[in-house]
Structure 1
């Protein structure tokens, strides 16, 4: 098959300003320089005329670039900010939700070169970069309409912010899927894959990793794997169904993020021969508490700044505690936060009660008990969003209460937690450690995607 193109949603604003750094073609003419497009009663205003859609195509696809001004990155995260970003490929402008959407149309391999550089430092080891190239390509092509149906991931998942209302009014489950985008394939932020064009220069080692794995994807049972990944699993892999729809994937199942074999001798470790790779039953509340309160060995249990800098960009390094962490709230802070984030007035918060945990100890059901209202919420991202001004590092936490009044109202809540992100699939920090310890990219991939295969889709 031929290398596909991908449509990436970059910018969503009433007005978009950009600079065509080289000649671009549109409507049979060549233009360059600064341009301004504005939303105008359901259409696009550009150069005094109205359009339904605009497509600016490079004269030389390999080298021509454009720059988008004031792109928001880290949407809803603690490091959210704006920056100017530069891209290869075409720029498409459409109307969507009473705003304009700026879309970059680019070849998959060029897209991946940027994703690898945006998701982690270009100084990462070659094997880590190769592993990330394969999972990023897999994740993308699993939802790309141009891929043969026999290899596509069959996604029947609900759209973004899909609700799963249970039979009781006291329980509400919600999860957030990647297939919320209907006018483009993926967005450029952490909701999908972090993509910042050629804003950050790619090194030769990134290009080498992309070239060495060109066209390679992970597959399972004849389908491209839904290759999820997160920053730090916290020592244990989460399973897909506890974060998204109730459809387990055989390659995304529980395991400890621990040595599975010696990369030189290929000897299995004792831990790998035990069910779940020696992982305790973290769906059990007592086991989960013991796990979270301790710091068991794991690939991702590292404070090595040199290794962490391979995975974490400058703004990610603003987060220093991720394998194990603490978050404290006063009663006033927590009750106000939950009201603001959920829109539900619970009154004063009496308790946060764990109801159900996944295989990594991450909560996917949490009961919020208030003086005015009690409600069980989930899944994991909804819990993290409700309990933080942006996103709580993970939902693998236990709850401590202090300064409890005679009426049973805590004055302070202490959340002690593990990991950063949902914990499903590849653990970026763990994979970085594996790369440093001599594991090859295929061994890294098959550690995190259990029983999967690596196949080549195109040359």
Structure 2
């Protein structure tokens, strides 16, 4: 198999400004320097002419780079911001949803070099970086194959079910139909060559070139999150109702055995305490390996607290869901996954009661950006005579969905001397490591 290319959606705007830092070829002509493309009545307006699509290809791929201006990163997160970003490979511009979408067409291994530098600090240990290279490559190639299958069958993995009593909705990466993956946390954080890669990152990519995780002859859907909170979540509690054997229940530590966190008393006890786990660390040296500067603005992610007044919570839920529950009487856990993450939560209000899920829908509804995770318990405080709380305290565990590799746990394992294959097989149970291409 030859090394594939990947199409990465970088930004979607009415106008895209970019700089070609070397000569690029487009429709048999050369272009370089600062450029502007504008959405114009369903077409792309560039250099005074309209186009359906633009493709800028470098004359010398190894030496060329282009820059996209004002790219939004951290979309819907508390640290959302804009920055100029530089990329290797080709630039494709298409019309999509009444805007222009800028797409970077790049070799998989070059893409991975950026992902590893973008997802975590380039100062991370070699074994952690090698492990992350394998899972990022695995997830990407599995995703490309899955998208092709969806296109061929016209299937759609994203879904929701709604009744008067229940709204269960989940989100996956299949909503990209015109490119393979996006560049933000929705897929894998990718910022081109904006953040300088180091020798150790390039060493990790080269040492694992073409390697992927496999199970039963197929590339694994190698999910990962920042911090599992001490226990792995299973795939089906976050996305479609498919159980992947390699994404299974397990404690993020060799012993003792994990309690049954699908049961409310065990989940309550687990979340309110701070059990030993690889990811239970406050070591700044280790955290700096995984968390870039803006991620370090988030603290206390192994166990955390969020407090809302009644007015804050009722207004927040109305704004985020579009549903008027009135005053919030209670947030009732209905169903939890294997890490204690809620995948069904009942919101009881004075005007309406509704059970929502899955985990990301819960996190989006209860935060102006994203709640750290859906592994939380609720305390109601200062009840009125009518039994309506004036305050809600959410005590939670972990950061992200908790499925697959836990980045902070893996960083700790790397510091403790575990090799990358041992790290991978801790988080992807029963998987193997195979080489797809040289």
TM score, norm. by length of structure 1: 0.93
- The residue aligned with 1:48 is 48
Deviation at 1:179, TM superposition (A): 1.1
1:122 aligns with 2:117: no
- The residue aligned with 1:76 is 76
Q: Secondary structure at the match of 1:289?
A: helix
Asked if the contact 2:278–2:412 (Cα under 8 Å) also holds between the matched residues in 1, the reply is yes
Picking from 156, 159, 166, the partner of 1:171 is: 166
Deviation at 1:136, TM superposition (A): 0.2
- Distance in 1 of aligned mates of 2:293 and 2:353: 40
Summarize the Cα distance change of 1:453–1:26 in structure 2 as closer, same or farther, 3 Å threshold. Answer: same
Picking from 199, 202, 223, the partner of 1:204 is: 199
- The residue aligned with 1:103 is 103
1:213 aligns with 2:213: no
- The residue aligned with 1:458 is 437
- The residue aligned with 1:279 is 258
- Distance in 2 of aligned mates of 1:343 and 1:144: 34
The runs of at least 4 consecutive aligned structure 1 residues that moved more than 6 Å come to 146-149
- The residue aligned with 1:158 is 157
Superposed CA offset, 1:7-53 (max 9, x none): 00001000000000111111111111000000000000000000000
- Distance in 2 of aligned mates of 1:328 and 1:30: 57
- The residue aligned with 2:358 is 379
- Distance in 2 of aligned mates of 1:373 and 1:96: 37
Q: Secondary structure at the match of 1:144?
A: helix
Deviation at 1:369, TM superposition (A): 0.2
Deviation at 1:163, TM superposition (A): 1.2
Deviation at 1:295, TM superposition (A): 0.4
Q: Secondary structure at the match of 1:103?
A: strand
Deviation at 1:298, TM superposition (A): 0.3
Deviation at 1:147, TM superposition (A): 11
Asked if the contact 2:147–2:180 (Cα under 8 Å) also holds between the matched residues in 1, the reply is no
- The residue aligned with 1:389 is 368
| Residue segments in structure 2 that go unaligned for 5+ positions in a row | none
Summarize the Cα distance change of 1:242–1:70 in structure 2 as closer, same or farther, 3 Å threshold. Answer: same
- Distance in 1 of aligned mates of 2:148 and 2:322: 43
Which aligned pairs between 1:171-190 and structure 2 lie closer than 5 A? 171-190=166-185
Superposed CA offset, 1:396-415 (max 9, x none): 00000111001011000000
Deviation at 1:145, TM superposition (A): 4.0
Which aligned pairs between 1:38-437 and structure 2 lie closer than 5 A? 38-145=38-145, 158-159=157-158, 162-165=159-162, 168-259=163-254, 271=255, 278-437=257-416
Count, aligned residues: 435
Superposed CA offset, 1:215-256 (max 9, x none): 000000111000000000000000000001110000000000
Summarize the Cα distance change of 1:331–1:164 in structure 2 as closer, same or farther, 3 Å threshold. Answer: same
- Distance in 1 of aligned mates of 2:311 and 2:148: 54
- Distance in 2 of aligned mates of 1:232 and 1:33: 42
Q: RMSD value over aligned CA atoms?
A: 1.4
Asked if the contact 2:137–2:211 (Cα under 8 Å) also holds between the matched residues in 1, the reply is yes
Deviation at 1:63, TM superposition (A): 2.0
- Distance in 1 of aligned mates of 2:268 and 2:154: 34
- Distance in 2 of aligned mates of 1:174 and 1:147: 20
- Distance in 1 of aligned mates of 2:299 and 2:29: 51
Asked if the contact 1:157–1:177 (Cα under 8 Å) also holds between the matched residues in 2, the reply is no
Which aligned pairs between 1:437-456 and structure 2 lie closer than 5 A? 437-456=416-435
Summarize the Cα distance change of 1:292–1:215 in structure 2 as closer, same or farther, 3 Å threshold. Answer: same
